[in-house]
Amino acid sequence: MYQTDETPHGNGWIVLPVLAVLFAAGAFGGWRYLALKATPAPENDSAFCDMNMSKAKSMGTTHEENISANVGSPPVIDQSPAPGPAPDGMAWIPPGEFSMGTQEAMFEDTRPIHRVAVDAFWMDKTEVTNEQFSKFVQATGYVTVAEKKPRAEDFPGVPPEKLVPGSIVFTPPDAAVPLNDYMQWWSYVEGANWRHPEGPRSDLKGREKHPVVHIAWEDANAYAKWAGGRLPTEAEFEWAARGGLDRKKYPWGDEFNEGNKFHANTFQGHFPNKNTDEDGFLATAPVGSFEANSFGLFDVAGNVWEWCSDWYRSDYYQTLAVQGQLAKNPAGPSDSFDPNEPGVPKRVTKGGSFLCTDQYCSRYMPGGRGKEAPDTGTNHLGFRLVRDTK
Ligand SMILES: [Ca+2]
């Protein structure tokens, strides 16, 4: 489950019955578990990224405590040339040092801003597309998590007839709904998977260049092993997404519609029922539909969320800030903890999606963080790869 503007996450400490179910579900499967059971989101659940937003807003944006040294300094970008020609479809991401995180009041897990150094790497210019993933599947016969029948032991209490292959699909309601019940717009759809993004009656025709979706973390890693590469760390993703800019809100600057145009595929209108499609895309867009950032990367904000290699902990930045002045190539904590959903380990996701809207929050910002149980894909979550230079 995400801590994003649009995806369900967290069920709050007060929802003990649901938590008990989650613990019973074991280490994985939190959101899939709820979706399979079609358990309605609990009343009074503030399980969204604006959880505690009022509190955060009341605190303002002056969270200067515990900020590590040099966060006020601009990024340091090593201008040395790339060591050779870029691998196919990849961009050179120079080594450097930057201030990671954001003081955005609505985010509680992105503070404090802390200083991070990252080695050089190559990075896919775009999200992995359906066409690319299809080549992998043709070559290996790989079957994704969403295409397999969920195992009864992983989903105790779910009726056997509900244990069918499928995935979680954004299914907007016809009318405005309370925004505290994500089951109003997310459904477990039998037969939904990367080949059928909205379910069995949908396909990839005309979407060859769209990002592949319904990819679980292990699916992304299987692809990486085949293609030669790995998922980026959260720090690598943020460094790359910022494109050398200094603590800007977006990969292109501080104004969302800078130059009076859209720079990313997000959600306009009234979430979740009315997508006014002003940026030209109701759902995923072909990769590279908007301009690249300064490092030559497309869609590092919006389109689909992207898996990172790190475990998610809400307090990880605090840990880094007190450990030292400069975190070198941080690769995430050794375990996961999400206070909104204890007992469900999660990996970090970054970049936001076509469903991100400022009505909740703006986790498509490079400083924003997402999170997801590793077994869970949705139709707005994909990935891209990086490669080491040596
Ligand atoms: Ca859009």
Output the CA 294–ligand 1 centroid distance in Å.
Answer: 22
- Residues facing 275 on adjacent strands: 269
Output the CA 133–ligand 1 centroid distance in Å.
Answer: 23
Model confidence pLDDT, tens digit, residues 215-269: 999 999 999 999 999 999 999 999 999 999 999 999 999 999 999 999 999 999 9
Q: What is the pLDDT of residue 341?
A: 87
Output the CA 157–ligand 1 centroid distance in Å.
Answer: 37
Answer yes or no: are the C-beta atoms of 17 and 37 closer than 8 Å.
no
Q: Angle 130-140/217-227 helices, nearest 10 degrees?
A: 80
Answer yes or no: are the C-beta atoms of 236 and 386 closer than 8 Å.
yes
Output the CA 305–ligand 1 centroid distance in Å.
Answer: 13
> Which strands form 305-311's sheet, in the order they lie side by side?
370-372, 347-350, 305-311, 381-382
Residue among 10, 304, 42, 342 nearest 178 (CA) = 42
Output the CA 383–ligand 1 centroid distance in Å.
Answer: 18
- Residues facing 129 on adjacent strands: 211
What span, in angstroms and rounded, lies between the C-alpha atoms of 149 and 161? 11
What count of Cα atoms within 13 Å lies in the side-chain half-sphere of residue 289? 23
Q: What is the pLDDT of residue 36?
A: 72
Residue 8 has pLDDT above 70, yes or no: no
Residue among 232, 233, 251 nearest 243 (CA) = 251
Output the CA 117–ligand 1 centroid distance in Å.
Answer: 33
Q: Identity (one letter) of the amino acid at 379? A: N
- Does the pTM exceed 0.85? yes
Output the CA 130–ligand 1 centroid distance in Å.
Answer: 19
Output the CA 277–ligand 1 centroid distance in Å.
Answer: 5
Of 10-24, 51-65, 106-120, least confident by mean pLDDT is 10-24
What span, in angstroms and rounded, lies between the C-alpha atoms of 174 and 151? 33
pLDDT over 70 percentage in the chain: 82
For residue 172, CA distances in Å to 186, 187, 205, 271, 352 come to 8, 9, 22, 9, 18
Q: What is the pLDDT of residue 55?
A: 34
Model confidence pLDDT, tens digit, residues 299-312: 999 999 999 999 99
* Predicted confidence band of residue 53 (pLDDT cuts 50, 70, 90): very low
Question: How open is the CA angle 50-52-58, to the nearest 5 degrees?
Answer: 105
What span, in angstroms and rounded, lies between the C-alpha atoms of 304 and 328? 28
Output the CA 62–ligand 1 centroid distance in Å.
Answer: 32
**Burial of residue 363 (number of CB atoms within 10 Å: 0-12, 13-18, 19+):** buried
What's the alpha-carbon Rg for the chain, to the nearest Å? 20
Average pLDDT, the chain: 85
Residue-wise DSSP of 81-140: PPSSPPPTTEEEE--EEEEES---TT-SSS-S-EEEEE--EEEESSPPBHHHHHHHHHHH
Output the CA 369–ligand 1 centroid distance in Å.
Answer: 20
Output the CA 186–ligand 1 centroid distance in Å.
Answer: 17
Output the CA 279–ligand 1 centroid distance in Å.
Answer: 5
Residue-wise DSSP of 272-330: TTEE--TTS-SS---TT-S---TTS---SSBSSEEEEEEEPBTTHHHHHHHH-S-EES-
10-388 carries CATH number 3.90.1150.10: no
What span, in angstroms and rounded, lies between the C-alpha atoms of 21 and 157? 9
Output the CA 52–ligand 1 centroid distance in Å.
Answer: 27
Residue 328 has pLDDT above 60, yes or no: yes
Output the CA 34–ligand 1 centroid distance in Å.
Answer: 27
